[in-house]
Chain A
Amino acid sequence: MSNNQDTTPVVHKKPLKLRMWNYRGFYLMALPVFIFVLIIYYWPMLGVRYSFYSYKLRDIHFVGLDNFTQLFKEKEFWSSFRNTLIISIVKLLLNTFVAVIISIFLNEMTSMICKKFIQTVIYLPHFMSYAVVAAIFTLFLSTSSTGFVNETLKSMGIITKSIDFLHSKTMWRPIFYLINLWKETGWGTVIFFATLSGINTEQYEAASIDGATRLQRIRYITFPALSNTIIIVLILNLAKVLNIFEPVFVLYNSRVLEVSDVISTYIYRKTFLTAIPDYGYTTAVGLFKSLVGCVLMLASDIASKKVRGRGII
């Protein structure tokens, strides 16, 4: 985005009014977008003032920073904050790591047809919604007699009693990571393939002539070529770690709140699943999340500038 704005324009000779008149058609084009954004994005920003109010049913009154003091004391909130960071970051690292491995080795595949086919297959799950993926795996992991995983394990004699995977505090997170790997890793390889297709084949040929083995070629050519992309992917996603909602929401349940509740689900539960909620308090939680998110975003922007010379925003 930022490539052009600092170059000093040369044609600023006509008066502003005239230039604006020349662009009148474009202002008209921008208008719907402007109004849409104003209403959908900026209007809600006014609502953050409720962070400083108590807002129960229709009783709204100013309470200053009370909501924030309550927030910082709330054990449940900090647990959700910690979970958000752990779940998001582990998921990000795992998905990226596996995507890189897959990209590298798929790149070594000699048959183009086979390569295309594998690519087509591993992209598939990305187009299923989280609701669907959660439904599929909940059915597969269920303890009923039609539960694919439990019954298969039983028939193989590995276990004797069904395991309630999604209700177990120790199993929930690993299962969550696995399901997310299944859904998103394939799609995550797209960007690495784009980079790999840009590697000069001469490099490989030169290496072959020098007697480098396949693994050495991967180690010294492919991987370094990808490292920049890996860092960019990590940086881009770092900015969004606090936003995680739907992937968790579709899989968590009251039994595993301790290990699965993230900030967004915490806000959701406190607002929508409480008999008489305090909207002021939950707005405050949301504001806190937005502010931390803002800091992360700016940090990623700076990091991105360092790495690749241009920001992400």
Chain B
Amino acid sequence: MGKKQKLTLFDVINYIVFILLALIIIIPIWKVVVDSFNAVGVYKFQLWPSDPTFAGYLTIMSTAKLARPFINSVVTTIIGTLIGLIMATLGGYVLCQYEMPGRNLFSYFLLFTMIFSGGMIPEYLVMKQLGLVDNMWILVVKHGMNVYNLVLMKNFFEGIPGSLYEAAELDGCSPMKTFTSVVLPLSKAALASIGLMFAVTIWNDYSTVQIYITNPTQVNFQYQLRVMIMDGDTPTTAYKVSQNTLYYASIVCAILPFMVAYPFLQKYFVTGVNAGAVKE
């Protein structure tokens, strides 16, 4: 494959098909972005807004009903990712200790949760007991402990050469010290990719909010967006902004963080999936 090959008919068709495919993905996203700057709603696909305005974005920033959920989203995503990473690294590292008495029991204890769950209603009742209903921190609690990511983390740790552990032990490092000064620094890539998985999940979570939260001050941005567009619950604002502009501007805000970060971090996103699927 590495050699220069002649461009055959096959290649030409292949290129055309893939360019079309890319367009199918890009056009809807591009239309959303353009329409978010368009003062009047148009059905046509435009390359550039015909009547440019920032009113949509200004409305989001100045309307508490939209700005507050956005901040909630940011805060829960950051805290949730941190807690998720802490849990995954702690658990993953313990699972690597095959000689530890009770290690297998601990492993089954975790894996059983992947097979059986109490279901929506019992979970709801427990969260209610914990005071997490109508509370945005439900997002952190619900996603902070993810067994799947924990196992991924363990797999990453196992990829660290055993000789490094031995060296640390010879240096007189305690297991904790080995963990913080040897293992974690070597797992930056793993932390980045699993952290991204947490962040994507929490930021994009809509159904948890739909189920657990009714208090408008506690909802996240995905939920607010959904309520606004699907239930037509547009907040009253001082800005003169067309509904369409506001809708599309909100969509852009909802996808912006990862759309911006993604091209730079693609490597980490992809590693996470491969580690999960290929080696488990």
Contacts and interface: CB of A to CB of B under 8 A. Distances in A.
Determine whether A and B are in direct contact in the complex, meaning some CB atoms lie less than 8 angstroms apart: yes
Interface in A184-200: 186-187, 190-191, 194-195
A232 B17 CA distance: 28
Given A41-B113, A44-B126, A246-B207, A124 B262 contact: yes
Given A105-B14, A148-B45, A124 B120 contact: no
Contacts of A158: none
Given A48-B119, A118-B18, A136-B32, 17 more contacts: A1-B151, A23-B101, A26-B94, A29-B93, A36-B87, A47-B122, A109-B14, A117-B22, A124-B262, A125-B25, A131-B206, A131-B222, A132-B255, A136-B28, A145-B43, A148-B45, A233-B277
Q: Which among B25, B86, B269 has the highest number of chain A CB atoms within 10 Å? A: B25
Nearest to A301: B115
B48 to A, nearest CB: 17
**B contact face: mostly helix, strand, loop, or mixed:** helix
Interface in A95-150: 102, 105-106, 108-110, 114, 117-118, 120-125, 127-132, 134-140, 145-148, 150
Q: Which among A32, A41, A114, A152 has the highest number of chain B CB atoms within 10 Å? A: A41
Interface string A268-287: 10011000000100110011
B170 interface: no
A246 B262 contact: no
Contact of B205 (A41, A42, A129, A282): A129
Contact of A245 (B11, B176, B207, B223): B207
B64 interface: no
Nearest to A42: B113
Which 9 pairs between the two chains have the least Cβ-Cβ distance? Answer: A47-B122, A286-B119, A44-B118, A129-B204, A151-B43, A131-B206, A146-B41, A41-B113, A33-B91
B90 interface: yes
Given A45-B122, A127-B255, A246-B207, A110 B43 contact: no
Nearest to A119: B266
Contact of A30 (B91, B123, B262): B91
B238 interface: no
B225 A190 contact: no
Nearest to A304: B280
B110 A47 contact: no
Given A123-B266, A146-B42, A148-B31, A132 B254 contact: yes
Contacts of A130: 204, 206
A47 B14 contact: no
Nearest to B11: A110
A25 B25 contact: no
B277 A236 contact: yes
A47 B45 CA distance: 51
Nearest to A280: B121
A114 B19 CA distance: 9
Interface footprint category on B: 35 or more
Contacts of B7: 110
B54 interface: no
A4 B99 CA distance: 10
B90 A50 contact: no
Interface string B40-78: 011111000000000000000000000000000000000
B121 A147 contact: no
B254 to A, nearest CB: 5
A3 to B, nearest CB: 9
B114 A313 contact: yes
Contact of A1 (B111, B123, B251): B111
Contact of A11 (B10, B17, B99, B121): B99
A131 B205 CA distance: 8
A69 interface: no
B236 interface: no
Contacts of A245: 207
B21 A131 contact: no
A47 B121 contact: yes
Interface stretch (B140-148, B160-168, B184-192): B140-148
Q: Which among A47, A117, A132, A201 has the highest number of chain B CB atoms within 10 Å? A: A132
B222 A129 contact: yes
A250 interface: yes
A23 B43 CA distance: 65
26 contacts: A5-B104, A25-B175, A26-B175, A29-B179, A33-B94, A36-B145, A37-B110, A40-B145, A43-B118, A44-B119, A45-B122, A125-B25, A127-B262, A131-B222, A131-B254, A134-B230, A146-B41, A190-B270, A194-B277, A201-B1, A215-B10, A245-B207, A249-B207, A264-B120, A268-B120, A310-B280
B184 to A, nearest CB: 12
Contacts of A125: 25, 29
Contacts of A42: 113
A52 interface: no
A19 B222 CA distance: 49
B145 A37 contact: yes
Interface in A1-53: 1, 4-5, 9, 11, 16, 19-20, 23, 25-27, 29-30, 32-34, 36-37, 39-48, 50
Nearest to B270: A190
Given A26-B175, A118-B22, A279 B121 contact: yes
A199 B106 CA distance: 37
Interface string A205-223: 0000000001100000000
